Chains A and B, each alone.
Chain A
């Protein structure tokens, strides 16, 4: 059986990839996918710790995260649709109008 530390390491890696994605990606759809990637990294972490502890609390939390990720993705896609309709563009470099 694969020890739980491997899963925790994997989840940490995915989390960092998601954070890097939010920082450097310019496509607004890719930004949304990066946040979803981070939430899925958390799911892996929860299930891994659950394996270690032999408890079901972590698995229950995963259901909450799944629901919340779905809600967030739907709101995000709605906003992307609205932005695309107004601008016909999905690149953050050309979209940014609010600046100090």
Chain B
């Protein structure tokens, strides 16, 4: 027998049934990779991508739970739920991508399979019970995204944004791996459960705290939290808008999920360190993101700063180590998908129209030119601001109650004050849309995919605003799953 056969005979073949969604995504990506070389049929490529994503989305609810690859890959309800939402996000990005790329004359077939590789990396991230799987996943996702961000044909800003993203992302990678090295040196393992049992509240020495702190800084860099946010506005503004939507929503959600998973499962007893760290980062993100967003005239850049502020709101939940706070974090991450996608898909649809440059003046009189689109944007802006009939309110309310429940009043006050300040720029768009006369009479036309995506997001924001318990129950269940995994 060869060495490989002996190994498989000794360990048993890995169980592939739990990674069927990942296999579908990978095969779709390779299919496009091959087809794209021979055919120029753009419609075919996007149809195959959409079909692969739909198939993966249908398979996910029926995927069995379990561990595979010799304990390096863990599939449970937590990871399956996040995978479902990540696939859904990619689906909406793909259906709006082709009209945009063709209008901007920057179509490449590479967009589709790099997006799928990035999605695969994110799916690996959320199902990692081990720092190695997490590291490989986050790098697959990031490196694909550096290329996606820089693929705007003959556009210098896109290259500059992508290069800043690469340098800052590379620094983040180095910090994360140095943190992993220190934790490995301290505990001798990469497994979350072994790390959790090795580092207890009684033996927090320099190695453990230093490793955790460096890992935390690296993760904050990937989640674009202030003061490690420099790349975010540039990369978001430079990239093509559908890719911005993907980076701002899918990558962020996967990062938040994995941050929560690492903090809760690998460092449950070191919580005094990470709660303080995330509280400070969250406060800085909320304050800085909102104040800088106030000064922006370019709406795409404004939404980029608004996404930094939203990182602050979401990470603020990590300041209190209670199951209610973890539920609030998951709930906010899930509902942010709808607001974030809505805002960026709106810009993507508008950028194709004649004379649209994303400047705030372009929004003048939008309500008269296209009442339905203006209404959708109104819903997204109200939701990001947190006005009651929309679900954004319940996201912020959950984090607020969690903070008060743990007596972290200062952060709760920062959250409320900064939400009020954020009205300055969200409502500015609404005022420009509804209270100004239009400067142009040019007609809009939207593709079917864009209209469907925007209507879906707006409807879902309102439905969830009326029945927030729908997602709150899911989030609560995921928290329970996460807490069960501690020390397993």
Name A residues whose Cβ lies closer than 8 Å to a Cβ of B: 8, 11, 15, 18-19, 22, 28, 31-32, 35, 38-39, 41-42, 45-46, 48-49, 52-53, 55, 57-58, 60-61, 64-65, 68, 71-72, 75-76, 78-80, 82-83, 86-87, 95-98, 100
Contacts and interface: CB of A to CB of B under 8 A. Distances in A.
B171 A82 contact: no
B147 A75 contact: yes
Secondary structure of the B contact surface, majority rule: helix
Given A38-B174, A42-B177, A100 B237 contact: no
Secondary structure of the A contact surface, majority rule: helix
Nearest to A31: B167
A62 B130 CA distance: 16
Contacts of B136: 64, 68
Interface of B: 132, 135-136, 139, 143, 146-147, 150, 154, 156-157, 159-164, 166-167, 170-171, 173-175, 177-178, 180-182, 184-185, 188-190, 233-234, 237-238, 292, 295-296, 301
Contact of A64 (B135, B166, B238): B135
A65 B177 contact: yes
B237 A98 contact: yes
A83 B159 contact: yes
- The 3 tightest CB contacts between A and B, nearest first, are A49-B185, A38-B174, A35-B170
A49 B237 CA distance: 41
A46 B184 contact: yes
Contacts of A48: 185
A61 B184 contact: yes
Given A53-B188, A83-B163, A22 B171 contact: yes
Contact of A53 (B167, B185, B295): B185
Contacts of A31: 167
A45 B178 contact: yes
A80 B188 contact: no
Contacts of B166: 32, 72, 75-76, 79
B174 A41 contact: yes
